[in-house]
Amino acid sequence: MSHPAGDGQVAIAGHHIAKRFGHVQALVDANVTVRAGEVVALFGDNGAGKSTFLKTLLGVYQADQGEIIVDGAPVRFETVRSAEAHGIQCVHQDLALALDLSVIDNIFLGHETMQRGVLRGVGALDRGGMAAQADAALTEMSIRLPSLRIPVRDLSGGQRQAVAVARAVMWARTAVLLDEPTAALGARQSDIVSQLIRTVAGRGLGVLVVSHDIPRILKVADRVVILWRGRTIIDQPAAGLTVPDVVAAMVGYQKETA
């Protein structure tokens, strides 16, 4: 199944990224470009450099060489907050949800809205406004939950993943990065999350998906980038690739391009 590739400007990109940790050269020449409205799948075997590349785009690590582009312009992220200030949000594999808090509180965690007037002075939250915004955001993405006020721990794995994605989309202005979004989910829940990925791109955000779930993510991606030993060896439309193609490149059966 193919999708129209994003034809907007570059949402986020890493060009010729290199990163070393002591004696380990994690990234040698990694290149990924994600345009607005486009889903790019980032594949690679264990140790290929996917996690390091993702964390470099997020400001967790600073590249030794190379350039990061956001919204069409070069940037340098010193911290994760720098990336967030440029409209970049990430859905981590562990989701980073507060299980004892409600759906609403999780979506607004770190972005709480205060009451206006005298109540603002005593630190009162605008819970009604937050609930309305959360409900609107979830509805717009066709996410259905039993309640927005129940603790997240009472939700299924797929529902928790949907909350994490909705939170990222609500605060993202440029791109959303997803780290193994279907890991530990059943087939039906994984399909729902995959459709959600297309919905995110449909909002005009660039979407970069790091995943080992090759068959499923290949179906929703516009383009595929494959890392091998810290280098980008494939960057082409997803429609032209099969699962065996991807697997062969990941394990190094395809010769590294010059």
Contact assessment for residue 145 and residue 101, using Cβ atoms and an 8 Å cutoff: no
Give the model confidence (pLDDT) of 189-227 as tens digits. Answer: 888 889 999 999 999 999 999 999 999 999 999 999 999
Distance between CA 47 and CA 252 in Å, rounded?
A: 12
Task: Kindly write down the DSSP assignment for every residue of 211-243, as one continuous string.
Answer: -S-HHHHHHH-SEEEEEETTEEEEEEEGGG--H
Contact assessment for residue 207 and residue 201, using Cβ atoms and an 8 Å cutoff: yes
Give the model confidence (pLDDT) of 85-128 as tens digits. Answer: 999 999 988 888 999 999 999 999 876 565 565 454 445 667 77
What integer pLDDT is reported at residue 113 of this predicted model?
A: 62
What integer pLDDT is reported at residue 124 of this predicted model?
A: 60
pTM of the model: 0.87
Contact assessment for residue 108 and residue 130, using Cβ atoms and an 8 Å cutoff: yes
Contact assessment for residue 108 and residue 134, using Cβ atoms and an 8 Å cutoff: yes
Distance between CA 13 and CA 257 in Å, rounded?
A: 20
- C-alpha distances in angstroms, 84 versus 43, 67, 205? 24, 17, 14
Beta bridge partners of 226: 43, 234
33 phi, psi to nearest 5 deg: -125, 130
> Can you list the positions of beta strands (E) in 99-230?
175-179, 206-210, 223-228
- In this structure, which topology does domain 1-87+173-187+197-258 adopt according to CATH? Rossmann fold (3.40.50)
Domain ranges of the chain: 1-87+173-187+197-258, 100-171
> How are the residues of the chain apportioned to helix, strand and coil, as percentages rounded to the nearest 5?
35, 25, 40
What integer pLDDT is reported at residue 189 of this predicted model?
A: 86
Distance between CA 178 and CA 168 in Å, rounded?
A: 9
Distance between CA 10 and CA 169 in Å, rounded?
A: 18
